[in-house]
Chain A
Amino acid sequence: ETGVTQSPTHLIKTRGQQVTLRCSSQSGHNTVSWYQQALGQGPQFIFQYYREEENGRGNFPPRFSGLQFPNYSSELNVNALELDDSALYLCASSSDRFGYTFGSGTRLTVV
């Protein structure tokens, strides 16, 4: 069985730009969630998708948005990038409440 794949692995963007991060879920997993991990911190929940519908959101502004596709892959979009958006973005997929598999993340640097 394949794991969770995230792309790109690293990304540098300029403040004010928009970015799209991608996540390919583990086979058979219909739930995907995204986390932001700032340097030296634990991951913070951004949102979760279940069967293409958002079913939970953390304390992040609307410029953080997402999509889940019929094949259960997912995108995280961030508009109007700010310097504080620089972080490791982790995607996790699951087929049940507790069995989550994390990807290796995308390191986003905003300059």
Chain B
Amino acid sequence: AQSVTQPDIHITVSEGASLELRCNYSYGATPYLFWYVQSPGQGLQLLLKYFSGDTLVQGIKGFEAEFKRSQSSFNLRKPSVHWSDAAEYFCAVGPSNFGNEKLTFGTGTRLTIIP
């Protein structure tokens, strides 16, 4: 069965500092991997996704993530955070074949930005 672990429930960083959010997955085949962001009271917005090819993926809002098969990880990074990045971040592992539409989400990491 597929699963996702986000080991950090809450992270606090200073504005302008770098950020790395961790994600480890378990999946029997080549995974599709996603990072979503959720602002308070809102739905989830896709930041980036990995299907195949280059293991370093660029997303929106200056985020990037690196797929490391050997470590079963897909960590999200940003070189310099802005106060508007404060939100909840979800990693997800998903279907790679037609007929299995299920995405499995991690429990999320809440990001707080301090001035």
Binding partners A and B:
no
Interface residues of B (CB under 8 A from A): none
